[in-house]
Amino acid sequence: MSGVIQGATGPWEMVIGLEVHAQVSSASKLFSGAATAFGAAPNIQVSLVDAAMPGMLPVINKVCVEQAVRTGLGLKAKINLRSVFDRKNYFYPDLPQGYQISQYLQPVVGAGTLVLDMEDGTSREIGITRLHLEQDAGKSVHDMHPDRTYVDLNRSGVALMEIVSEPDLRSPEEAGAYLRKMRSILRYLGTCDGNMEEGSMRADVNVSVRRPGADYGTRCEIKNVNSVRFVQQAIEVEARRQVDVLEDGGEILQETRLFDSRKNETRSMRSKEEAHDYRYFPDPDLLPLEFEQAWVDEIAASLPELPDDRKARFIDELGLSPYDAGVLVAEKEVADYFETVAGGRDAKVAANWITGDLFGALNKAGLEIASAPVAAKDLGALIDLIADDTISGRIAKGVFDAMFKTGRPPGEIVEEKGLRQVTDSGAIEAIVDTVLEANQHKVEEYRGGKEKLLGFFVGQVMKQSQGKANPKIVNDLLKQKLGNPGA
Amino acid sequence: MSLGLTEFTLAEARDKLRAREVSAQELGEAHLSAIGSAKALNAFVVETAERARADAARSDARLAKGEGGILEGIPVAMKDLFCTEGVVSTAGSHILDGFRPTYESTVSANMWREGAVMLGKTNMDEFAMGSSNETSHYGPVRNPWRADGDNRDLVPGGSSGGSAAAVAAALCLGATGTDTGGSIRQPAAFTGTVGLKPTYGRCSRWGIVAFASSLDQAGPMTRSVRDSAIMLRAMAGYDQKDSTSVDVAVPDYEAALDRSVKGLRIGIPTEYRIDGTPAEIAALWDQGIAWLKDAGAEIVEVSLPHTKYALPAYYIVAPAEASSNLARYDGVRYGFREDRDDLTEMYEATRAAGFGAEVKRRILIGTYVLSAGYYDAYYLQAQKVRTLIAEDFKNAWDRVDALLTPTTPEAAFGIGEKNDDPVAMYLNDILTVPANMAGLPAMSVPAGLSARGLPLGLQVVGRAFDEETVLQVGRTLERAAGFDHRPTPWWRDQP
Amino acid sequence: MSLDKATVARIARLARISLPEQDLEPMAAELSGILTWIEQLGEVDTDGVAPMTSVVGHALHHREDKVTDGDRRDDVLANAPESTDGYFVVPKVVE
């Protein structure tokens, strides 16, 4: 998905900005003590404050502020020691107060950066404009009744971090990489679980097009896209729409649109009134949010190693390729798993087992690494058994499968099934001799020049030894006894 | 006859209850009876007789054991702006018709905890917007006072008109009010009662229907300064559920009352002399100055240069905040709904039918001054002027300890007299609004009668959280004024 | 400042209060009167003056991150004009 559209009149470049709404991981809401967990029955996790009863007032949750600061630090952003909560006024049934408490002119976090890891191994820095805290709205359900809308306020008041990027993205691919990286950082920090299916992370996409090198064009905002794939499709479809309009001699109307994934198109959001006038003003029920640099420093000191730093360390200190390092750091749980396996062992070998065998098995079983039946220390033990020649690499694959099925450590499985590699040269030699004896004709052919037959002999020896013969010894003995092919 | 039981002050009743000279049930019954005979005043929206009797019985049980809170057994009235659990709370509006809160406001909860007996909810200007109690959905309140030789109904002031009338007519021993631009002090002045607006943040706003968040403050309305001190102590206190509540200890305000004002410096702000004010207001002010001087206070002329801008600034800030606070009244989750097939039409029809004219005007003004292109010129400018007003007071506190001014530019006017021009009505608050804009404590004390026999009040303004000095000065004025006039009860058993 | 009918209609729409056509002119007149009186505020020199953020001097009180509320659907729905199966019910937005 490149970011350049070849129009009828020449090339057009896509210009994309993303506004990510990330639900803060906290037990209770931003300004009320009701719970935030997903999936409760309607209007259960609702306090009188969330329901905007007469006389109710907001009181801020200190952990939500901490999570926003933590996220800002993870994005290498400026933390504003003083910020203000403003009311954003509009009417909608899932906005019970008739206003959303948000931050307008003075957000808690300022400018930062996010590094994109592209598929070809290159990196690009994307600017973050700001991050602010705001309340989430409830849910309006339109399909339970033909004429009525049903309103559930469970989500009303949950803390959101709105993270705004500069319009630095240039293709759907980059947008996807941005979202994946953002999600990864949030999960590393523990400030948001990044679950787009459940709606804890959503994106508004700003799309415009321009001639390469020209000024920015008029943008349209596509609201509430809830998967990376849909974000990429929406960008593609909207950019093409804009190019068509412009090439026909038309103008782009700055408006808000919705992405229809079934029809693969964007549609203008119909509303009876003109553009929203939100009438922002500082919320008089709250005071300015102020905290000390010392508190910010404490949070900074408690940050986990972030994906970019961890990737660099995997490359520099553990000798992994950028690609492998990138794959392993994308999810913190995977990176943690990897480091346990790699500890005191060959990191590349560990990486291969994880990205190859483990990921393969997990995908097939539909599991996440958190539920992997193979414990990291057990995988490490398996690698040790290969390294000290207890079992062969090939046998190890079988042991791994058994470990995955049963969750048992490798040592037990090897002993129980008698899989120990045979390294006794004498015993192997005896088998080699037997095989060569039984296949004189092929021996002749080999000596006559058919090199490929070595594989046949190796296979026969392995078969006779139930796969337990040490392959290197087998190879060496065969070559010794067969002599050079074509000799 | 039980009427005698409604003639005590709150403090006297408290002492008699503790001495078991009178029972809470007798006291409660006498007041319920008085309320029943005073329907003509239209001071009450809801009467809670059963609840009052239950409260009184509980109080008698406590008092018999020698126990009891600050207001044990004292029958009080609650302005209908306070949400009271299980009891209809309307804020004087049609849009909250039938609204029965499942929660209790912090201030009223404090009072019930201290043993107060609930007589009912008092009438008020709709959403506390008004200076005459004529904007209520439940009809106007009539002032118990009438001008000499005149039968015309007068306004009790607003927005706490019902509470003021109830106190003046001896239907309760005390009532709660709220004051955003003068809504406790102005009706107190119009009804010859004592009205105190505490420092912003002194009393919790949790559970009080919000009008203008940065200005609203609950306070006591009583027949004496001592009563005010007692009631404030029960009402006030830090509340974690209100982020604008201030964590300052509540002193025993009554203990401060009899301190001498000798050596206290009283400021007389030049800018409160307003052109066109009746001469008797200026005369009363001079009288007040003389009383304080006689009591040993030092009188100092001060200047609060931005005084005249307080009222126009208020009429930007308050409507702006109100326009946002009242957005929740939309027919979705509680209150009145005017149903339609389309959501937007439902909102528009509900709010058009549910809100009265003054509320609509203020919501529209507020919406306008916050709207794109006007925010800087109006709202931002008003908030800057507010900073200057607060600074004026701060500068004054370098030279004085309290200020003395008249409370209102005139005495109570006739019902319907000022309804042609909204601004004429707004000008009622010209002397009270600056204290709200600066968040300072202020109290009105009845000081004399007008030429036509109507009560006039004097206002004392103090430093933030220095209600003690305000009460002390107020007590001195009260003693000197000796205001023992009572309205002739024309309303008894009238329809 | 004089408001015209169209502006009043727009403000009323923003505030979700329906104003019948015949009320627009009188309302415009009333609001204009109020705004004209308010405009004297423009006389005040506020250069370098910070807008008041709060009369209260202290810091914003923080809450612990604990679930202390909610689970009171009956209270929340008690005064609802229309509710079903635990939801608030409102008319749909008609496109």
Count the neighbouring beta carbons within 10 Å of the beta carbon of residue B20.
Answer: 11
CB nearest C87 (choices: A152, A284, A290): A152
Rounded-to-integer distance, Cα B206 and Cα A57, Å: 6
- pLDDT in the model for residue A272: 41
Nearest partner of B306 among B198, B387, B375, B185, judged by Cα: B387
Which pLDDT band, with edges at 50, 70 and 90, does A418 fall under? confident
Amino acid code (one letter) for B149: G
Cβ distance C70 to A286 less than 8 Å, yes or no, reads no
B347 touches chain A (CB under 8 A): yes
Peptide bond into A83 cis (omega under 30): no
- pLDDT in the model for residue B50: 98
Rounded-to-integer distance, Cα B17 and Cα B323, Å: 45
CB nearest C55 (choices: B327, B364, B390): B390
Beta bridge partners of A17: A206
Residue A487 has pLDDT above 70, yes or no: no
Residue A422 has pLDDT above 90, yes or no: no
Residue A82's contacts (CB-CB under 8 Å, 6 or more residues apart) are A106, A288, A289, A290
pLDDT in tens, C69-79: 999 999 999 99
Q: What angle do CA B416, B353, B326 make, to 5 degrees?
A: 90
Listed by start position, the domains of chain A span 4-297, 303-416, 425-482
d(CA C33, nearest CA chain A) in Å: 22
Mean pLDDT by 10 residues, chain B (495 residues): 78 97 97 97 98 98 97 98 98 96 98 98 98 96 96 97 98 98 98 98 98 98 98 98 96 93 96 90 97 98 97 96 98 96 96 97 97 92 97 98 97 93 89 97 98 98 98 98 95 83
d(CA A223, nearest CA chain C) in Å: 18
Nearest partner of B126 among B335, B395, B299, B269, judged by Cα: B335
Sign of the CA dihedral with C29 first, then C30, C31, and C36 last: positive
Amino acid code (one letter) for A29: K
Contacts of B247 in chain C (CB under 8 A): 58
- Tracing tokens 């033990």 back to the chain, one arrives at A381
Q: Which of A31, A56, A88, A156 should one mutate to test binding to chain B, selecting the residue with the greatest count of B CBs within 10 A?
A: A56
> What's the Cα-to-Cα distance from A371 to each of A39, A355, A359, A401, A411, rounded to whole Å?
22, 16, 12, 16, 21
A81 touches chain C (CB under 8 A): no
Cβ distance B341 to C38 less than 8 Å, yes or no, reads no
> How close are the terminal C-alpha atoms of chain B, in Å?
22
What is the DSSP-derived secondary structure letter of residue C64? P
Cβ distance C51 to B383 less than 8 Å, yes or no, reads yes
Q: Which of A46, A105, A147 should one mutate to test binding to chain C, selecting the residue with the greatest count of C CBs within 10 A?
A: A46
Residue A274 has pLDDT above 60, yes or no: no
Residue C95: closest C-alpha in chain B? B342
Any idea which architecture B2-253 has in CATH?
A: Alpha-Beta Complex (3.90)
Mean pLDDT, residues A353-367 taken together: 94
> What's the Cα-to-Cα distance from C34 to each of B359, B364, B432, C27, rounded to whole Å?
14, 11, 19, 11
Rounded-to-integer distance, Cα C71 and Cα A46, Å: 7
Which pLDDT band, with edges at 50, 70 and 90, does A29 fall under? very high
Active-site residue identified among B132, B183, B204, B228: B183
Cβ distance A288 to C53 less than 8 Å, yes or no, reads yes
Q: Which of B367, B418, B419 should one mutate to test binding to chain C, selecting the residue with the greatest count of C CBs within 10 A?
A: B367
d(CA B421, nearest CA chain C) in Å: 8
C6 touches chain A (CB under 8 A): no
Contacts of A142 in chain C (CB under 8 A): 92
- pLDDT in the model for residue B494: 78
pTM: 0.92
CB nearest A32 (choices: C69, C71, C86): C69
* Number of inter-chain CB pairs under 8 A, A vs B: 99
Nearest partner of B106 among B124, B83, B87, B90, judged by Cα: B83
Active-site residue identified among B23, B108, B136, B159: B159
**Contact status, residue B456 vs residue B237, Cβ threshold 8 Å:** no
Mean pLDDT, residues A403-421 taken together: 89
**Up-side HSE of residue A399: CA atoms within 13 Å toward CB?**
33
Cβ distance A58 to B332 less than 8 Å, yes or no, reads no
Contacts of A93 in chain B (CB under 8 A): 332, 343
Residue A207 has pLDDT above 90, yes or no: yes
Cβ distance A27 to C65 less than 8 Å, yes or no, reads yes
**B159 catalytic residue (yes or no):** yes
**B132 catalytic residue (yes or no):** no
Cβ distance C11 to B214 less than 8 Å, yes or no, reads no
Contacts of B243 in chain C (CB under 8 A): 60-61
Residue C82: closest C-alpha in chain A? A150
Instruction: Give ipTM to 2 decimals.
Output: 0.96
Q: Which of C40, C41, C54 should one mutate to test binding to chain B, selecting the residue with the greatest count of B CBs within 10 A?
A: C41
Nearest partner of A94 among A252, A224, A254, A201, judged by Cα: A224
- pLDDT in the model for residue A273: 43
Nearest partner of B76 among B251, B227, B189, judged by Cα: B227
- pLDDT in the model for residue C3: 93
Which has more confidence, A393 or B240? B240
Contacts of A63 in chain C (CB under 8 A): 64-65
Count the neighbouring beta carbons within 10 Å of the beta carbon of residue B342.
Answer: 16
Any idea which architecture A425-482 has in CATH?
A: Orthogonal Bundle (1.10)
Mean pLDDT, residues C11-22 taken together: 96
With contact defined as 3+ CB pairs under 8 Å, the chains touching C are A, B
Tokens describing residue A102: 């948000």
Contacts of C92 in chain A (CB under 8 A): 142, 147-149
Which pLDDT band, with edges at 50, 70 and 90, does A302 fall under? very high
Contacts of A48 in chain B (CB under 8 A): 102-103
Count the neighbouring beta carbons within 10 Å of the beta carbon of residue C64.
Answer: 11
> What's the Cα-to-Cα distance from A191 to each of A59, A103, A195, rounded to whole Å?
20, 19, 12
Residue A43: closest C-alpha in chain B? B333
**Contact status, residue A319 vs residue A347, Cβ threshold 8 Å:** yes
Tokens describing residue B86: 């299980």
Active-site residue identified among B59, B79, B121, B163: B79
Rounded-to-integer distance, Cα B398 and Cα B421, Å: 39
d(CA A67, nearest CA chain B) in Å: 21
**Contact status, residue C31 vs residue B368, Cβ threshold 8 Å:** yes
How confident is the prediction for chain A on average, in pLDDT? Answer: 92
